Structure 1
């Protein structure tokens, strides 16, 4: 049977368990920002937290459960950041909305990384209850953002703004993975002229695409 290291006491009281879970989540977050979600293992998270892997699994289902929870938290933060960025204005344009969506998303590199992993990997290695909790949290954030965005500008209604936000998140997830390749690939792209097209500048590409989608939705609505 695996034992906790001597310097780590088992969390028994509810508040101690909450602190231990927070430590696990913070360790996973910092590691993902340092080297990317794909490269982080449960062993890495346990080592950063200061407990062994079996102890981590008393608080979460899997490594993917940790990152799915973080994805839900990031969605909620994106919604809050968008509210703050739009400053309760009601005279904005669809183009300004697209730019604000990208700016607030880019401020969350962890979410940019997690967006692609959520559907491809994270949701497939957790329980149905964990997926449901994540989906409901993400949908709540999306609804919040759609209401905020619809108030900001008079052209796109909530359904259209929801479509814009969803599309931006999908594109961002793919573009982030392309624009942040592993070191070996980045070096290859830089050294091989025939692969120059593989070098993607994330922020301008995402913003340009989001503005194009917003313009299309505005034209369709009009």
Structure 2
């Protein structure tokens, strides 16, 4: 039977379990920021945390469960960042909203990376309860952003802002993967002029698409 390393005490009290879970999540976050979500294994996370894999699995279901929890956290952080950026203004424009949406999500590289992985892999390797918890957290963040956005620029209602945020999140997840290729691919793109189209300037491309959609939503609302 696998045992904890001698220097690691098993967490028995609820508050100790919460601290251990927080350390696991922090290790996973740090590793993903260093080398990308796709490259991080459960073994990596266990090693960074200082415990073995079987011990990690006392606190989470799978590696994917760890990153789904982090995706939910990141959605909440994005909502907070957008609300802070918009402040208490009620005279903003849809164009300004689009720009702030993109700026605040690009400031969260982990979320940009996780957005593509969540539906493709993370949700497929956890329990239904874990998916439900993630979905509810993401929806709560989306509702928060919709309320803040509709207050910021009244021509769009909450439903329209929700549509804008959802589309920006989908585009951010896809564009991030294209704009952040592995080292070998990045070198190939730099050396081969015929592949110049594969080099994506992430923030400008995302912002251009968001501003266009925001303008369209404004026209529809009127």
Query: Offset at 1:184?
Result: 0.5
1:86-128 deviations in Å (ceiling 9; x for gaps): 0110000000000010111111110010000000110000000
Tell me the equivalent position of 2:170. 170
Measured in 2, the distance between the counterparts of 1:181 and 1:16 equals 39
Tell me the equivalent position of 1:140. 140
Query: Offset at 1:205?
Result: 0.5
1:125-150 deviations in Å (ceiling 9; x for gaps): 00000000000000010001000000
Measured in 2, the distance between the counterparts of 1:29 and 1:128 equals 23
Tell me the equivalent position of 1:39. 39
Pairing of 1:120-159 with structure 2 (within 5 A): 120-159=120-159
**SS of aligned partner of 2:112:** helix
Measured in 1, the distance between the counterparts of 2:175 and 2:106 equals 12
Tell me the equivalent position of 2:23. 23
Q: How many residues align?
A: 222
Query: Offset at 1:160?
Result: 0.4
Aligned-pair RMSD on alpha carbons?
0.6
1:142-195 deviations in Å (ceiling 9; x for gaps): 001000000000211111000000000000000000000000010111111111
Query: Offset at 1:13?
Result: 1.1
Structure 1 unmatched ranges of 5 or more: none
TM-score normalised by structure 2 residue count: 0.99
Tell me the equivalent position of 2:59. 59
Query: Offset at 1:14?
Result: 1.1
Measured in 2, the distance between the counterparts of 1:143 and 1:103 equals 19
Structure 2 unmatched ranges of 5 or more: none
Tell me the equivalent position of 1:206. 206
**SS of aligned partner of 1:2:** coil
Query: Offset at 1:220?
Result: 1.3
Measured in 2, the distance between the counterparts of 1:76 and 1:101 equals 14
Measured in 1, the distance between the counterparts of 2:12 and 2:143 equals 37
Query: Offset at 1:67?
Result: 0.4
Pairing of 1:31-110 with structure 2 (within 5 A): 31-110=31-110
Runs of 4+ in 1 over 4 A off after TM superposition: none
Measured in 2, the distance between the counterparts of 1:16 and 1:133 equals 22
